[in-house]
Structure 1
Amino acid sequence: MAELGRQLQEYVAQNKAGSGGSSAASAPGESSEPGWRAWLPSSGVVWSWSPVDADPCLPGMTGTQRLMAAGGCAAMAALCFGLAGLYLPLLVLRARKFSMLWSLGSVLGLSSAALLRGPSRLLREPEPWALLYLTALGATLYAALGLRSTPLTLLGAAAQVITGAAFLLGLLPGGAAGRRYISGLCGSLVRRGVSKALPV
């Protein structure tokens, strides 16, 4: 028991010395990060990874706060996607609820990615397919929540799926070429179907 008390006192003394040294090392205007790296196992591995870079669009948020907010957004997105999956068997009857939950999950997922990467980095070079996806996402939410129209919600959800797939395909290595190939393939299938249907 005495050995345990001695170890506890050594541990407290080490923490006091470590927190005093880290507060002295930080500049007076900077906010010091909590010591979350101390919870990681110290098996000789050097943890030099900085979780997130500072972003001018998120002033005053530390890296740990951004990680926690991104994790919360990702958890809420997973919940929305899971609830939307429950409506899949009733898709014909509950199309608006499915589209609304799926769109809210997408918004939360995008918010999580923006918190991790930084909004200014995402806004610096916007991709056209990303803008089309955001437009389809907003139109789906507006049709489901504002207009309460099932056909417009289904149309927005279809546009959201198409633009989201094209955006994700463009993120893959060689994605622009793959997107051109798939769009050319779909265009030839449509032209072939139209030429068979029309007696021209």
Structure 2
Amino acid sequence: MADLNRQLQEYVAQSKAGGSSVASPEPGWRAWFSAPSGSLSWSWSPVEPDPLLPGMSATQRLVAAGVCAAMAALCFGLAGLYVPLLLLRARKFAMLWSMGSALGLCSAGLLRGPNRLLREPEPWALLYLAALGGTLYAALGLRSTPLTLLGAAAQIVTGAALLLGMLPGGAAGRRYISGLCGRLLQRGVSKALPV
């Protein structure tokens, strides 16, 4: 206990001698995103310029990403209000959910940089983008409820597979689940068809 008291007294004396040593050496939000001292390194830093966003500073990118994330949350919240009326307003639900997903992807693209996201696209991400675009086209362009529901179902399946692949060990789990679904589908088709 005496050792703890001594350490506390040393800390208080040190903070009084150094003035306000509580303030970070880097002002504002940059201190949160700067690389930590030591052997660790960040894989992302908002200060890195992106060739696809030549005129945007790091602050502008963070503000734009925050606005996109807030608008995505608004779209997801409004889509949640349509859940009880899903059978009557399925097109509006799918449209709002897809707009929220698109705005969320824009927010991630602004934060990480679109050049990084486009450099190495994953096949499931491309399928998700295709399902997202198809859902929006069916809801806004064609105004077809059955095609909108089909696109929304494809969006849910590809989004779940994409998220499963991002988890540690998720790629193996995704292969296992897709193999299981393939065997079940093959078994069901072989029972249904006399061939």
Q: Shorter-chain TM-score: what band?
A: 0.7 to 0.9
C-alpha distance in 2, partners of 1:94/1:172? Answer: 33
Aligned to 1:62: 57
> Using a 3 Å threshold, how does the CA distance of structure 1 residues 196 and 124 change in structure 2: closer, same or farther?
same
Q: Name the SS for the 1:92 alignment partner.
A: coil
- Mapped contact 2:94–2:135 kept (Cα < 8 A): yes
C-alpha distance in 1, partners of 2:68/2:116? Answer: 19
> 1:190, CA displacement in angstroms?
1.9
Q: Report % sequence identity.
A: 77
Matched, 1:94 2:86: no
Aligned to 1:167: 162
C-alpha distance in 1, partners of 2:171/2:149? Answer: 27
Aligned to 2:28: 36
> Using a 3 Å threshold, how does the CA distance of structure 1 residues 116 and 47 change in structure 2: closer, same or farther?
closer
> 1:149, CA displacement in angstroms?
0.6
- Mapped contact 2:78–2:96 kept (Cα < 8 A): yes
Q: Name the SS for the 1:36 alignment partner.
A: coil
CA deviation map 1:108-130 (0-9, x unaligned): 00000000100000010111111
Matched residue type, 1:130: A
- Mapped contact 2:50–2:113 kept (Cα < 8 A): yes
C-alpha distance in 2, partners of 1:87/1:58? Answer: 36
Aligned to 2:20: none
Aligned to 1:124: 119
> 1:46, CA displacement in angstroms?
11
Matched residue type, 2:182: G
Aligned to 2:186: 191
Give the 5 Å matches for 1:14-163: 35-37=27-29, 48=35, 51-52=45-46, 53-163=48-158
> 1:175, CA displacement in angstroms?
2.2
C-alpha distance in 2, partners of 1:158/1:37? Answer: 39
Aligned length: 162
- In structure 1, runs of 5+ residues without a counterpart are 1-33
> 1:194, CA displacement in angstroms?
3.2
- Mapped contact 2:34–2:45 kept (Cα < 8 A): no
- Mapped contact 2:65–2:106 kept (Cα < 8 A): yes
CA deviation map 1:83-108 (0-9, x unaligned): 10110111110000000000000000
C-alpha distance in 1, partners of 2:33/2:139? Answer: 49
Normalising by structure 2, what TM-score? 0.75
Matched residue type, 2:105: L
> 1:47, CA displacement in angstroms?
5.4
Normalising by structure 1, what TM-score? 0.74
Matched residue type, 2:123: P
RMSD between aligned residues: 2.3
C-alpha distance in 1, partners of 2:65/2:136? Answer: 22
